């Protein structure tokens, strides 16, 4: 079966990787997927401390000293990545999935929800707010994607055992940083990032195994930033 529309999506585990290096490689893989050289793939990675700022900007706020700030093409405002956070970058061709960006973002949320359910964390969506929430008040995962030539990149950031104090010195996604939570906090125990990889891999295969029929239309040159990290 050709890479485009492959039924069993791949997983690439990068371990820990500097954000700018990962960003360059993620963009390269997006282009390779567009050319049909690779199949749909989920990149799993953990980053050293960094703040990224999406297309909606940062509202001019001051960020903590000593933490690199990188401006990128994904949807949303600013957020933090760091040790203890599992980041997933789905590289997915939306052509055989109907070019439906909204549905794709919903599928990414569903992937995270299934992963959390597998470890005993009950979470859900909140109307008007992207991301995944616990009890509708505590944000455990952020979603922020970009789509170029109908291939997705960027993705989700799941707080597994993240130092939540890192969010409190600015306004991640425009929210008070105190709304952030983690798998470890919700379960009340130490949770290694590695523990979440199995559930995430399983959910990725379940949610993204089969593409939907083509539906919507649009230029293959479109660049879309969607799924504000909120």
Distance from CA of residue 66 to its chain's centroid?
24
Establish how many alpha carbons lie within 13 A of residue 121's alpha carbon, considering only the half-sphere containing its beta carbon: 31
Please name which of 26, 34, 36 lies closest in space to residue 81, comparing C-alpha atoms: 26
Please name which of 229, 10, 224, 230 lies closest in space to residue 101, comparing C-alpha atoms: 224
The strand pairing partners of 89, in sequence order, are 43
CA separation for the pair 184, 221 (Å, rounded): 41
Sheet containing 78-81: which strands, arranged edge to edge?
69-71, 50-53, 78-81
Exactly one of 50, 108, 146, 173 is catalytic; name it.
Answer: 173
Q: Is residue 199 annotated as part of the catalytic site, yes or no? A: no
According to DSSP, residue 93 is labeled: B
Active site residues: 173
């Amino acid at each position: 079966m050709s890479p485009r529309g492959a039924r069993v999506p791949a997983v690439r585990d990068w371990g820990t990787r500097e954000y700018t290096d990962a960003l360059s490689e993620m963009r390269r893989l997006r282009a390779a997927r567009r050319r049909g050289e690779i199949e749909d793939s989920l990149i799993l990675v953990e980053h050293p401390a960094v703040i990224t700022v999406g297309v909606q900007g940062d509202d001019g706020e001051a960020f903590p000293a000593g933490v690199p700030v990188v401006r990128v093409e994904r949807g949303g405002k600013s957020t933090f990545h760091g040790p203890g956070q599992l980041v997933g970058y789905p590289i997915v061709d939306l052509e055989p999935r109907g070019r439906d960006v909204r549905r794709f973002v919903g599928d990414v949320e569903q992937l995270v929800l299934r992963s959390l359910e597998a470890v005993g964390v009950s979470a859900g969506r909140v109307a008007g707010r992207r991301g995944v929430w616990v009890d509708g008040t505590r944000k455990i995962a952020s979603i922020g994607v970009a789509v170029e030539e109908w291939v997705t990149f960027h993705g989700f950031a799941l707080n597994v055992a993240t130092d939540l104090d890192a969010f409190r010195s600015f306004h991640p996604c425009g929210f008070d940083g105190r709304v952030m939570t983690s798998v470890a906090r919700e379960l009340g125990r130490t949770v290694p990032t590695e523990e979440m990889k199995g559930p995430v891999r399983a959910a990725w295969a379940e949610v993204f195994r089969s593409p939907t029929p083509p539906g919507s239309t649009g230029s293959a040159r479109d660049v879309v930033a969607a799924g504000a990290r909120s």
